[in-house]
């Protein structure tokens, strides 16, 4: 039995324990454990611990499922959330999707008899719902919920099920929201003190909220001399960045420097985290709920904290920073995803139109000069010399 795919990108863990060390083997030679790099040995140790915990949990789940006469979707949802926890992934958003939408509609159904008609009914019901901003539910949101259903059925016992669920077109709801300067200053005044440093850092760099909440005080000791926060991809078994790679964040604005000094000065040295709340790590749930309350109070329900990521990318590109450098600051893994966060604002559109107009005007001026010169040349050559053919005419 193979376990789920590792969230940190180490590969799928199997019974033979070879998938995550196969890359260190060759056809003619097998390396011993002492030959592995230190980082590789650390990854192998994490996977072994995960595999042991997964097997113990799976044994309990199998015993529970074998006792029940009917496997409902609700049981599969519980197992899905448990797998996420064991895999070291956050379950806050996934738990909301399960508890608010999936379980009330599909939880009581027999998983062995769930069909595409039930799934289509679920799609229609979700499309008729509106979000808190009054907009229709995005297809991308529904597709993520459908992916949970597919994942649950694939881990069903005694036999997994493969239900070919057709996904919806996601081009209808690509988010375009950016935070204006006015909204940035408004939220900065109204947010609680522990939220302000995270708001400022994300506005200027586009770093994800989850990553900011995992920053350590030790990483900010040399920032005044280097001007950079060096964030490792992993800290022990804890994954800090989304892709597990180191992230170098420049502290380039006065607001960032001020907030960073304030966070270090006001924080409790006994707490290892850089951004704290009353000397403790800030919970993602607490931060999310508190930010939502501020947005409702200000009448800015449509503003999301994640909009700062698009705002930072857009501002850096409009400021003339090359896309490759801006991608390194925001921490995007690929240029294709980075381009989705580069929003064409009114200022950028006006600048593009102005630049295009200047290029076209210069091009037309050059064309007029060339046309005048060509006319002059052809007129001179068209004057025939006695006994010679005109320019451009074919000889007899």
Task: State yes or no: pLDDT of 1 exceeds 80.
Answer: no
* The pLDDT value given to residue 41: 59
User: Using an 8 Å Cβ cutoff, are 388 and 379 in contact?
Assistant: no
How would residue 147 be classed by pLDDT, with cut points 50, 70 and 90? Answer: very high
3-class secondary-structure state, position 136: strand
Question: Cα dihedral sign for 55, 58, 60, 62?
Answer: negative
pLDDT in tens, 83-141: 888 776 668 888 999 999 999 999 989 888 888 888 988 988 888 887 766 677 888 88
User: Using an 8 Å Cβ cutoff, are 14 and 2 in contact?
Assistant: yes
Mean local confidence (pLDDT), 296-323: 86
Question: Cα dihedral sign for 55, 233, 193, 133?
Answer: negative
Task: State yes or no: pLDDT of 24 exceeds 90.
Answer: no
Cis peptide bond upstream of 158, omega within 30: yes
- Give dist(CA 128, CA 29) in Å, integer: 60
Closest by CA to 122, choosing from 95, 140, 104, is 104
Single pTM value for the model: 0.55
Q: Which CATH number is associated with domain 181-341?
A: 1.10.443.10
**H helix or E strand, kind and range, residue 105:** helix 103-106
Domain ranges of the chain: 22-172, 181-341, 344-372
């Amino acid at each position: 039995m193979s376990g789920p795919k590792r969230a940190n990108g180490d590969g799928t863990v199997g019974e033979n324990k070879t998938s995550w060390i196969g890359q260190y083997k060759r056809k003619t030679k097998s390396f011993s454990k002492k030959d592995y790099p230190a980082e590789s040995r650390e990854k192998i140790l994490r996977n072994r611990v995960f595999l042991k915990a997964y097997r113990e949990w799976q044994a309990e789940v199998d015993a529970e499922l074998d006792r029940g006469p009917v496997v409902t979707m609700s049981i599969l949802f519980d197992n899905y959330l448990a797998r996420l926890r064991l895999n070291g992934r956050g379950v806050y958003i996934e738990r909301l999707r399960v508890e608010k939408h999936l379980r009330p509609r599909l939880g009581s159904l027999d998983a062995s008899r769930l069909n595409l008609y039930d799934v289509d009914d679920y799609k229609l019901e979700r499309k008729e719902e509106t979000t808190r901003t009054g907009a229709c539910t995005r297809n991308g949101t529904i597709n993520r919920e459908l992916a949970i259903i597919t994942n649950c059925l694939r881990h069903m016992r005694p036999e997994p099920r493969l239900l070919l669920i057709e996904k919806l077109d996601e081009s209808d709801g690509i988010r375009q929201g950016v935070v204006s300067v006015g909204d940035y200053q408004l939220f900065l005044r109204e947010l609680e003190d522990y939220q302000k440093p995270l708001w400022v850092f994300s506005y200027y760099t586009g770093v994800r909220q989850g990553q900011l909440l995992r920053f350590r005080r030790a990483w900010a000791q040399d920032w005044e001399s280097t001007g950079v926060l060096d964030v490792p991809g992993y800290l022990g078994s804890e994954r800090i960045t989304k892709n597990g790679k180191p992230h170098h964040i420049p502290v380039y604005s006065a607001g960032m420097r001020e907030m960073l000094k304030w966070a270090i000065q006001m924080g409790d040295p006994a707490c290892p985290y850089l951004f704290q709340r009353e000397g403790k790590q800030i919970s993602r749930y607490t931060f999310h709920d508190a930010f939502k309350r501020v947005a409702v109070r200000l009448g800015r329900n449509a503003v999301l904290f994640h909009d700062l990521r698009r705002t930072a990318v857009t501002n850096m590109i409009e400021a003339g920073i090359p896309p490759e450098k801006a991608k390194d600051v925001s921490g995007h893994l690929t240029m294709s995803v980075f381009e989705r966060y580069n929003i064409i604002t009114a200022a950028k559109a006006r600048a593009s139109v102005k630049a295009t107009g200047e290029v076209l005007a210069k091009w037309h001026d050059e064309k007029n000069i060339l046309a005048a010169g060509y006319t002059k040349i052809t007129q001179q050559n068209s004057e025939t010399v006695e006994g010679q053919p005109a320019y451009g005419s074919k000889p007899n």
